[in-house]
Structure 1
């Protein structure tokens, strides 16, 4: 068996679903533009620079989920997918996924973005398995807090190994493993797999990939 792991934002997508979700809510006047837009941009720049405090960001990103009933959030999400996500699916994403699926590889999207936003994106891309940051739920509604370990940086390895254990698997279950990512934040997991692949990488990851002779590809 072989394992194929895919980052989502700026990898399979030519954009960031976390950032776009906040922008969508601002455009719908759900969030106050004056208060939220500058903070959204600030957090995104911190993420790209590798300086993001994930818990500070999640407090910002998950809190709005707690202010609205799940039914309304689901309705907004449907519009969000049509308006913001489908247009930014990277042109080469489906072909790359199909290549691994044809080989019967175990395909998993692993992302720091929360599962409320990303679960339907994984479905759109035809990938059944998703490891994402989990928003806390109480009586079916979001509390605005995170549940468990965010799948960010080293947390991606922790969450993946938890998932493998729950499915009676380990790293040794796989003859080969791939991880496709654009971001310096994913260096811990990229260094763990047998085939790290830099996809439309940021400057830091591009340099790291060149230094270590990792493949560098574009899905755009």
Structure 2
């Protein structure tokens, strides 16, 4: 099946009975890069953690942009992020949500993916984000995009302070499919008539739980899987081909150095 790259070609049908819905991954699907890195940058600018931690997160963001997502990296980022989150006030994170969106996320939203979500909304379908990002941030992204809601990772809290532990598991891989299935039961959604969108092979469980799976900006394994199963493939990176080639041609150390320089500038502004 030939690949397509224009949102207008997506087979969005008229509203159906059974309350069909659409589910969108966030990182590299709804936005370029990792939303958790945007959270980390903001928390670093507020002095929540050290330059060493910032460089570690920057290195993983560079790897994500260059090579895509892998399960081991997700778990390492999860463990580090939880350790850093311990002791942070829940109200502070909620208050920072809009700043994080305006400063780091809004400019990274893929217009093509945003158009897909809007097409579903216009057709009368609820649209949900499904992401490993902390739920507080996922809720802000969904609200700012005018979507129906978000499913995200829930971090435990006690008396308004994050404990550094999860409630359940990080919302990733099979956990996304389970969360969507639970939501469908609560909201009387017909998953066989619903859509799901992701860039990562790790989200195949999510994509296969619905009747209309779609690959967006897919990694190599998901692209192969999607084409083998005749799933639609939409690559909104094509409009930025020159920039994408430039990023992928950069050395790993060069990418980290660029991110480090940005963090250093943020640090100087913070300490003025």
- TM-score range relative to shorter protein: 0.7 to 0.9
Q: Does 1:38 align with 2:56?
A: yes
Pairwise CA distance, 1:24: 3.2
Pairwise CA distance, 1:50: 2.3
Q: Which has the higher strand share?
A: 1
Pairwise CA distance, 1:197: 0.7
Q: Which moved more, 1:72-81 or 1:105-114?
A: 72-81
Secondary structure of 2:194's partner? strand
Gaps of 5+ in 2: 1-18, 238-272
Q: List aligned pairs for 1:186-201, cutoff 5 A.
A: 186-201=203-218
Pairwise CA distance, 1:11: 0.7
Q: 1:209 aligns with which of 223, 226, 233?
A: 226
Secondary structure of 1:185's partner? helix
TM-score by length of 1: 0.86
> Which residue of 2 is the match for residue 88 of structure 1?
108
Q: Distance in 1 between the 2:152 and 2:175 partners?
A: 10
Secondary structure of 2:128's partner? strand
> Which residue of 2 is the match for residue 22 of structure 1?
40
Q: Does 1:5 align with 2:23?
A: yes
Per-residue CA distance 1:152-179 (angstroms, 9 max, x = gap) = 1001111122222333x36xx3551111
Q: Does 1:106 align with 2:144?
A: no
RMSD: 2.4
Per-residue CA distance 1:101-145 (angstroms, 9 max, x = gap) = 111113211111111221101111111221111111222322111
Gaps of 5+ in 1: none
Q: Does 1:135 align with 2:155?
A: yes
Pairwise CA distance, 1:211: 1.6
Pairwise CA distance, 1:44: 7.2
Structure 2 CA distance for partners of 1:68 and 1:123, relative to 1, 3 Å:
same
Q: Distance in 1 between the 2:183 and 2:42 partners?
A: 31
